[in-house]
Structure 1
């Protein structure tokens, strides 16, 4: 079918209209959606959806196996009846939080600290404040492409450690992180530059939220490299800022993007989002991808 597709930003991001995911998604239609997702450089906005939890899960599962109770480090914000859904919300009902307040208020790529980091995050807006609560995405294709050839060659030989413990002083500083949670997520090493398995394009794969250090260099050298990359990757010209509309379904590719949730809507109204997350693959360096 012909899908109404429109780019939203030069760096990344596009929207589609006229789809009704509640009617079911055939393999053929999903193939078109996935192709457009890749064309968008990793952020696809599907407007005006009216879907149930079950339909949200079924659509998200087409991307791959979903994180459930066993796949999440912080499990208390999972939907009580649907563990495939992680709830993000400032809403409180009968004294009980309906999701994690202030989730994602730091630059990160979902679950990059796992052996097989997140692939697709599928976030559905059930309630939004009258304004505020935007999500900013950074395109890691663009960030890589903008580097000098000398820097690209240098970085392609490096690996970095991704560690959930980094979040204790960052994005999860207001959460109590237990030793058991840290044991569930031991540090993992990934290439600094990875090749996207679907597009074949190279992109940077580090983020301030979970990347702790570069392997094989001194602490000072590691800090210098990472600080440069973090500043470089978050340049405004690599951004798409999503202003949420009610019933938006946004799919982002954690393999080639970072994101930051802006927590500026306190006191303005309730924000309730449901997120499903499809598990990805072990990241491959350009050398490993060429050899495969």
Structure 2
């Protein structure tokens, strides 16, 4: 089958060359692509795509049901499955997409009862330099913990809240009304991936506000340690975007953030779809 897969880092990530997603790929190609995604710990970049919104949505649906983001002002008109990540503005001067998107480490939609399975981010316009995306392997972060620490955190429960960090972004974050539509939820601090059977940390600085079973001071201290541990350089792949990359990551075993270092270097304009996942379980 006519595409190649090349590893991009030792810990996670691979690039796919020679696959055209503008037309429907075969079930065999999809199976091979999905296996490569799992084998490379949940991060694939499919190079050199030319996708309409319809084609982006159609390919994304091959991975499951799509989620509509609660922050509706940044959805692409006519395509509610597409969330715009953009520093551009519309003709009326309003932001096309969320210009602050991803400034902090997070897992997309972990604040839902059924957190997302995958995100597919398509690069339509890039700054001359900067604007990379950092992705961290929560498999590797879990595996590197001592047996004592693993035993301590397994069975603990984290609270995930859309408003936890987003409340600081007055113009681009969710409104109070939007946040009320997604009240805080609880997920295990360690989850088992439903396809690989591997364990991964399932906490993130953006949305995990506390650990249920601990006092505030204990929770703050443990989360601070786990956040710093999970984002150590040895667990991280830095994606340097090329125009028309389609980046696919697994929110069940990775966290990510966008590097906002491109002021004055041009616009960063992208479309994202998000695939609904299953309840997180230990």
Fold shared by both chains (TM-score > 0.5) = yes
TM-score normalized by the length of structure 1: 0.93
Number of aligned residue pairs: give it: 281
- Residue 245 (1) aligns with residue 242 (2): yes
Q: How does 1:110-259 map to 2 (within 5 A)?
A: 110-170=108-168, 172-175=169-172, 177-259=174-256
Matched with 1:25 is 25
TM-score normalized by the length of structure 2: 0.96
| Two-structure CA RMSD over aligned residues (Å) | 1.2
Instruction: Decide whether the 8 Å contact of 2:23 with 2:55 is kept in 1.
Output: no
Report how far residue 169 of structure 1 moved. Answer: 4.2
SS at match of 2:64: coil
Moved more, 194-203 or 94-103: 94-103
Instruction: Decide whether the 8 Å contact of 1:163 with 1:186 is kept in 2.
Output: yes
Q: Measure the CA separation in 2 of the matches of 1:237 and 1:176.
A: 31
Q: Measure the CA separation in 2 of the matches of 1:174 and 1:59.
A: 32
Deviations 1:4-23 (A, max 9, x none): 11110111111010001112
Report how far residue 137 of structure 1 moved. Answer: 0.4
SS at match of 1:84: strand
Instruction: Decide whether the 8 Å contact of 2:100 with 2:172 is kept in 1.
Output: no
Matched with 1:81 is 78
Q: Measure the CA separation in 1 of the matches of 2:173 and 2:79.
A: 24
Q: Measure the CA separation in 1 of the matches of 2:219 and 2:140.
A: 22
* Structure 2: gaps spanning 5 or more residues: none
* Structure 1: gaps spanning 5 or more residues: 286-292
Report how far residue 167 of structure 1 moved. Answer: 2.2
Q: Measure the CA separation in 1 of the matches of 2:170 and 2:125.
A: 26
Q: Measure the CA separation in 2 of the matches of 1:173 and 1:160.
A: 25
Matched with 2:46 is 46
Report how far residue 277 of structure 1 moved. Answer: 0.3
Q: Measure the CA separation in 2 of the matches of 1:261 and 1:81.
A: 26
SS at match of 2:57: helix
Residue 15 to residue 220, structure 1, CA distance change in 2 (3 Å): same
Q: Measure the CA separation in 2 of the matches of 1:17 and 1:220.
A: 48
Instruction: Decide whether the 8 Å contact of 1:49 with 1:247 is kept in 2.
Output: yes
Matched with 1:105 is 103
Q: Measure the CA separation in 1 of the matches of 2:80 and 2:159.
A: 28
